């Protein structure tokens, strides 16, 4: 029988934001959201958030070099510190001064303790759990936050993952790392400075997205678009699909509000018959641009017509 223990976990991932928003020193770090299930923050100094993730990766690197015995404890500690420093320096070189999104997810999971080894202050488990289930459990929250961030800037946001990992905490308060070993196979960006008001907008937008399951597919497509900076065709296809779905969902909601003013005035019944016929004939003939114009005229009724028409011309 497999020896498995239910433990709290912390899932951490870090993403550089290319384009999009940038964080001023006075707001660094900036927490965007916190709940029992997840926390999101922006920073330009991710090291403190990734300390345990770095340690887990460093342990794996040292183990691959064959240094993990009690007799080699001093050598292990030296190599571990060296490896952790190399990981931090490589990340700093890759991310530079970019604004970084830190995502943390929380929950509980069963961890197999059959193949484990204790070190001072932490426990190492080999193949203790399939981590993909934990990562998948927090994917929708991460996609919502990427979309919430994307709407806060005037330029496109692209996200590149620079770190990811999971650690557990046992009943003694020790950190438990589950290791698995497998082989896996320059653009200029404009960014928008993030203000305190902008951070509040992102937080409110994230909460709204989380409470609207109908937008899950759009969030997922936007997230894929924002991760394909190096493949413009894929980014375009994901983004265009997201736009089509968003407009289609919005059109079904706002079409009635769009046509309602046409029913006001004399002979309302005749007007209604006419519009009913037009809508029946056109139901499967509307172009994306038609639906976009309808939705925009309702949602941005008081917006500057010059800007609205300019956006309409791009569809």
- Distance between CA atoms of 315 and 311, rounded to whole angstroms? 7
70: pLDDT confidence band, cut at 50, 70 and 90?
Answer: very low
Q: Are 64 and 181 in contact (CB under 8 A)?
A: yes
The per-residue pLDDT for range 100-111, each reduced to its tens digit, is: 999 999 999 999
Give the other-Cβ count within 10 Å of 269's Cβ: 8
pLDDT of 72 > 60? The answer is no
pLDDT of 177 > 80? The answer is yes
176: pLDDT confidence band, cut at 50, 70 and 90?
Answer: very high
Chain-wide mean pLDDT for the chain? Answer: 80
Q: Are 12 and 5 in contact (CB under 8 A)?
A: no
What mean pLDDT comes out for the span 231-239?
74
Q: Tokens 């299930």 belong to which residue?
A: 37
Where are the strands (E) in 113-233, listed by range? 116-119, 122-126, 157-169, 175-179, 192-193
If one compares 247 and 308, the residue with the highest pLDDT of the two is: 247
Query: Quick one: what percent of the chain has pLDDT higher than 90?
Result: 22
Residue 260, pLDDT score: 74
Q: Which range has the top average pLDDT, 129-133, 269-273, 297-301?
A: 129-133
- Distance between CA atoms of 253 and 212, rounded to whole angstroms? 14
């Amino acid at each position: 029988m497999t020896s498995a223990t239910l433990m709290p976990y912390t899932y951490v991932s870090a993403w550089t934001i290319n384009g999009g928003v940038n964080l001023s020193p006075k707001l660094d770090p900036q927490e965007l959201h916190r709940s029992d299930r997840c926390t999101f923050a922006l920073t330009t100094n991710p090291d403190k958030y990734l300390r345990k993730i770095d340690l887990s990766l460093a342990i794996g690197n040292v183990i691959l070099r064959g240094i993990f015995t009690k007799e080699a404890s001093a050598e292990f500690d030296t190599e571990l510190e060296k490896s952790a420093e190399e990981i931090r320096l490589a990340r700093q070189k890759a991310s530079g001064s970019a604004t970084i999104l830190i995502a943390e997810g929380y929950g509980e999971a069963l961890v197999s303790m059959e193949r484990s080894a204790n070190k001072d202050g932490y426990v190492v488990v080999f193949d203790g759990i399939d981590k993909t289930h934990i990562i998948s459990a927090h994917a929708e929250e991460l996609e919502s936050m990427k979309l919430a961030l994307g709407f806060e800037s005037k330029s496109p946001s692209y996200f590149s993952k620079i770190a990811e990992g999971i650690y557990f905490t046992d009943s003694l308060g020790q950190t438990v790392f589950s290791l698995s070993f497998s082989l896996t196979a320059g653009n200029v960006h404009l960014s928008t400075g993030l203000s305190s008001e902008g951070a509040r907008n992102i937080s409110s937008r994230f909460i709204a997205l989380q409470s609207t399951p109908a937008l899950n597919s759009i969030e997922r497509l936007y997230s894929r678009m924002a991760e394909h900076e190096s493949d413009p065709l894929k980014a375009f296809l994901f983004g265009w699909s997201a736009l089509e779905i968003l407009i289609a969902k919005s059109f079904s909601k706002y079409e009635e509000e769009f046509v309602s003013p046409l029913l006001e005035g004399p002979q309302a019944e005749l007007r209604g018959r006419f519009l009913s016929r037009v809508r029946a004939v056109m139901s499967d003939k509307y172009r994306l641009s038609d639906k976009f114009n309808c939705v925009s005229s309702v949602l941005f009724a008081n917006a500057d017509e010059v800007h609205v028409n300019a956006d309409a011309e791009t569809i």
